[in-house]
Amino acid sequence: MTHGDRKPKHPGGRPTNYRPEIGKLIADAMATGLSLEAAAASCGVGPRTAFTWQGQYEEFRQSVEDGRARSLLFWERRAIALASGEAGNAAVVTLGLKNRSRAASGWHDAQRLEHSGPGGGPVQQQVTRKLDVSSLNEEQLEALEMALLATLGVVGGNGGDDG
């Protein structure tokens, strides 16, 4: 084969392996309790590809939604069976339920917490000091009053009525 005989490349890169029946296969695998990633792997599809296809193919996205609901149903039925006395591992079922319900809702354990002040600026701090004078005797109260008046520039201590 000469250089000019080569087959031209696909214009958008490698052609997709997507076929509509893959969505049903993945949903059926998820109905056994598998996550999307594990179900896709069982069908020979990588997780990144599965996430990409959800954005590209509406029928695939709907199949994944169906699969998530069926996976959650699988785990809920296992929990009900355990609660009814059937044998099984409660910790595994609990983990399966948590992972399915969180994945379906988009909720994850990671949390981000930020503190900021008004308008997203720095946090403002204001220190307020209170003086409890309830335990002071009359002489101590008069001394405090004189000191406060002196800081205000009032001379004499009786409100400026010095004589």
Alpha carbon 145 to its chain centroid, in Å, reads: 56
Tell me how far apart the alpha carbons of residues 156 and 162 are, in angstroms, rounded to a whole number.
Answer: 6
Instruction: Please check whether residue 24 lies inside any domain of the structure.
Output: yes
Query: Tokens for 24?
Result: 């049903």
Instruction: Please check whether residue 110 lies inside any domain of the structure.
Output: no
pLDDT digits (tens, 9 = 90+) for 97-128: 887 765 555 555 555 667 777 888 888 888 88
Which pLDDT score is estimated for 157?
45
Do both 139 and 89 map to the same domain?
no
Do both 139 and 68 map to the same domain?
no
Alpha carbon 29 to its chain centroid, in Å, reads: 27
Which pLDDT score is estimated for 129?
80
Alpha carbon 68 to its chain centroid, in Å, reads: 19
Which pLDDT score is estimated for 163?
44
Tell me how far apart the alpha carbons of residues 31 and 69 are, in angstroms, rounded to a whole number.
Answer: 8
Query: Tokens for 80?
Result: 């009900």
pLDDT digits (tens, 9 = 90+) for 51-93: 999 999 999 999 999 999 999 999 999 999 999 999 999 999 8
Which pLDDT score is estimated for 148?
84
Q: Which of 1-15, 39-53, 115-129 has the highest mean pLDDT?
A: 39-53
Given a cut of 50, whether residue 94 has pLDDT beyond it is: yes
Number of domains composing the chain: 2
pLDDT digits (tens, 9 = 90+) for 133-162: 888 889 988 888 888 888 888 755 454 454
* pLDDT level of residue 42 (50, 70, 90 thresholds): very high
> The domain containing residue 147 runs over which residues?
134-163
Which pLDDT score is estimated for 60?
95
Do both 152 and 87 map to the same domain?
no
